């Protein structure tokens, strides 16, 4: 029996359809689950938290959603080694719950994704480079070393920030899985669109079963994402960002 994956929808989520479709395209048995059905989450084997503006991002991005009943089940599942992927707003929630980087107690975050250095919302194509060993995170284990994944940054609060001591723990523990990079794979500060500490685009927890990713790979999931860059013969063909979801699907098969 294949693993069942819940795509969580909170008040204000807005990327669930693309995320759900790409998961299904990669062979994942995924279902959209709204906040009114929180109790059903206990029956799922893995969780994906898509982007948006849950609860209008009041207080801080993801801060209120981190205390939603839905997250009780996500936390419980993560602690049982179930796979969890958070994208953009979902990533913000995972840091607010303390699941990622997981260096402190639950719901006592040690890091956050906060306002971009520009203090403006950004929407632009980016490249994420795998800077940890693929096996460091179960969700990336099927990717090649130094894989570059195209995605879209679309956030106003995507800058990783933490106390210097906590950033040192994050760096020393190889919690940064993806860093922002140039299209040729070079990683340096000029490739970072938001001032993120450690040039971080995505972080994992200590156990490596939870991945918090700020850019949107699902917005670079099909050929039609590139029709303005020379075009593709098949607009429905899988595109660069789909490799992340294919890796997620592979991780589900391994954990089944």
Helix axes 69-79, 89-97, angle to 10 degrees: 70
CA 65 to chain centre: 15
137-141: average pLDDT: 98
169-193: average pLDDT: 97
Q: What is the pLDDT of residues 45-103, one digit of tens each?
A: 999 999 999 999 988 999 999 999 999 999 999 999 999 999 999 999 999 999 999 99
Determine which one of 88, 115, 148, 155 is catalytic: 88
How many CB atoms within 10 Å of residue 4?
A: 14
136-161: average pLDDT: 97
Determine which one of 16, 18, 96, 218 is catalytic: 218
Helix axes 242-255, 16-25, angle to 10 degrees: 60
Q: Topology of domain 4-255, per CATH?
A: Rossmann fold (3.40.50)
Strand 4-9 versus strand 29-34 pairing type: parallel
Determine which one of 20, 155, 175, 216 is catalytic: 216
Each domain of the chain, given as residue ranges in start order, spans: 4-255
Tell me what pLDDT residue 166 has: 98
- Residue 88 catalytic? yes
Residue 44 has phi, psi (to 5 degrees) of -100, 155
Q: pTM for this one? A: 0.95
- Sequence-separated (6 or more) residues with CB below 8 Å from residue 192: 180, 199
Compare 103 and 2 and report the one with higher pLDDT: 103
Greatest alpha-carbon span in the chain: 50
- Calculate the average pLDDT of the chain: 94
- Residue 67 catalytic? no
Q: Which residues pair with 86 in a beta bridge?
A: 49, 212
């Amino acid at each position: 029996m294949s693993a069942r994956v819940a795509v969580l929808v909170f008040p204000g989520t807005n990327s669930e359809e693309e995320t759900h479709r790409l998961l299904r395209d990669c062979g994942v048995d995924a279902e959209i689950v709204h906040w009114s059905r929180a109790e059903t989450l206990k029956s799922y084997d893995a969780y994906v938290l898509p982007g948006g503006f849950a609860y209008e991002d009041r207080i801080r991005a993801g801060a209120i959603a981190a205390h939603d009943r839905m997250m009780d089940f996500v936390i419980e599942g993560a602690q049982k080694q179930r796979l969890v992927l958070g994208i953009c707003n979902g990533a913000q929630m995972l840091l607010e719950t303390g699941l990622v980087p997981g260096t402190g107690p639950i719901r006592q975050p040690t890091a956050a994704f906060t306002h971009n250095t520009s203090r403006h919302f950004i929407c632009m194509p980016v490249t994420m480079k795998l800077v940890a060993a693929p096996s460091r995170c179960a969700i990336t284990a099927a990717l090649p070393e130094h894989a570059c994944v195209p995605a879209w940054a679309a956030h106003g609060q995507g800058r990783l920030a933490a106390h210097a001591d906590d950033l040192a723990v994050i760096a020393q523990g190889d919690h940064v899985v993806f860093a922002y990079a140039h299209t040729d794979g070079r990683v340096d500060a000029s490739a970072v669109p938001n001032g993120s500490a450690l040039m971080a685009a995505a972080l994992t927890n200590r156990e490596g079963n939870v991945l918090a990713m700020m850019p949107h790979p699902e917005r670079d999931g099909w050929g039609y994402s590139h029709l303005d860059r020379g075009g593709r013969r098949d607009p429905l063909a899988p595109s660069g960002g789909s490799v992340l979801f294919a890796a997620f699907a592979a991780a589900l098969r391994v954990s089944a």
